[in-house]
Every structure is written in structure tokens, then in C-alpha cells.
Amino acid sequence: MDNRDEVRQFLASRRARITPEQAGLPQYGGSRRVPGLRRAEVALLAGVSPDYYVRLERGNLTGVSDTVLEAVARALRLDDAERSHLHDLARAANARPRAHRRPARQQVRPAVQQLLDAMTDAPAFVRNGRLDVLAINPLGQALYSPAFAGPQRPVNLARFCFLDPAAEDYYPDWDDAASTTVALLRTEAGRDPYDKALTDLVGELVTRSDAFRTLWATHNVRLHHTGVKHFRHPVVGLLGLGFEAMPLPADPGLTLTAYHAEPGSPSQDGLRLLASWAATGAPGPAGRS
């Protein structure tokens, strides 16, 4: 992935969605050739020269200060995820590309797997930024049993979402699941544009899925730390589960995600039924690292 192209397209897409009225700029007569703000208007709002902002939107973030990035973020009304993404893009632009060598395989430490296995009442797993599931506990594997039905390991949740027909039934709100999946991959691409495995994954999905290709072109990003996710499990039916996604400080790039059900809710009953199925009839622990 070319960082300059990513910077150019991200800034242009954010600029295009803001009208002069939203930005508090005076209106003048005549039609506008571009949707949203003009580059000169963003420069005015950010307090930089038009030539300097044009340089930024052409993809050149080399040497740009955090102060300027924050000014641009305010001018474009970026949310927290978008602001972080802009800073990630700048860090990538100012870092030396890594030497072309085979990266070390990400592994989950035994202590982390033991922690997952100790979480007997909560589905939990560890993933990397490409959405590869690198470790999972039995209840988590029971929850994600449709994704684990195929032979490919590690299971990749993006491939499952866009390339497995079972995903559209498994996710009751597939559109939201798909948008979140793409936003997470786009966020990861901003952090590390030189991740060849991520580039290959995105290339595969762009080629094989029209829906992914359309969503990828929006350049949307998202923070995904907490919330509620809905599933239509083939054995226990509908589940609405809260989740917490926690980066593992000792394992950079890895995130532990755990689910829970509201006490006394039908989803809690469903989760208990899922635990019984996991103990008696669910697939075994294939796919662990």
C-alpha cells in the first residue's frame, strides 16, 4: 500500500464530506466544482498556506508537526479514530520502510492462552491487526463455529465476513459487521503500510468481493474498543453480546476480545446453552496457535 496515495485519498474524502455551511464559511454565488470544501478553505480553517495544504493533500506528510496535524484534524472535523489515523499516516510517512524480509510470525504466549482458557463463562480470543484469530478459548470457538468450519488456519474474520456465504446469516446486521471489518483493516493499514500480509489480504478481498471494494474506497476508520455485537448462531439463535477489546501491551499488535451477556437477558440464556454445546458437541480446539 502506497502511503502517499492513502494520505491523498483520506484527506480528500474527509474534505469532500464537509460543506461550507458546516464549516461556518461565508457563501458566495456560483456553483462549486467539487463537493465539500475547497483546499484553500481547509487551509484557511487550519491556519496554513494554501500551497502547504496542497502539499499535504498530495500525500506528502514528511516533517509535518503534530500541531499542524491537529489543526488539519480540527478543520476537517475528524473524530477520534480519524485523528489517530492521520497521525498514524504521518508516522508511517516519516519512518523508513522496513527491509524486505520475512516478518517474524506472531505468536500467542502460553500465559495468554492460559488466561483465555480460564475465562470459562466468556467467549474470548486474541487477534492481530489483520483480523487473524491467533488463539481462542472453547466458548469463543463455539461462538465462532461457522468461521471455524473451513480448513484454513488461522481463521481470518475479514475473509469469513466477505467470502463465506455463511457470514450473511451469522451476522444479523451484516452491513454493520462489514463496515466495521473494513474500517479496522483500513486503520491497521494506516499504522503499517508495509505489512505485506495485510496488503495481500486487502488485494485478495478487493479482487473477490464487490462489497469489500466499495467499502474500502470510503477510507473510513474506526476505534473498536467496546460495544455490542449481534450474532445469529446456528445452534443457539440470536445473541446480543457486549464486548471489550483490549490491546496486549506485552504483545504489540495483538488484541484480546472478550464477550459478555447482560445478566438475566435471553442472550445470557443463549450463552449458557452455547457453553453446554461447547462442552458436548462443538468442534474441537482446532486453529489454536
Position 99 confidence tier, pLDDT thresholds 50, 70, 90? very low
- The average confidence (pLDDT) of the chain is 90
Domains in the chain (CATH in brackets) are 3-94 (1.10.260.40), 110-280 (3.30.450.180)
The model's pLDDT over 155-187, given as tens digits with 9 standing for 90+, comes to 999 999 999 999 999 999 999 999 999 999 999
Task: Give the span between the Cα atoms of 24 and 228, in whole angstroms.
Answer: 35
Q: Average pLDDT, stretch 109-123?
A: 95
Task: Give the span between the Cα atoms of 285 and 139, in whole angstroms.
Answer: 10
Report pLDDT for 150: 86
Q: Report the candidate in 111, 117, 88 with the shortest Cα–Cα distance to residue 186.
A: 88
The model's pLDDT over 243-257, given as tens digits with 9 standing for 90+, comes to 999 999 999 999 999
Residue type, 55: R
Report pLDDT for 103: 54
Report pLDDT for 282: 57
Check whether 146 has a pLDDT greater than 50.
yes
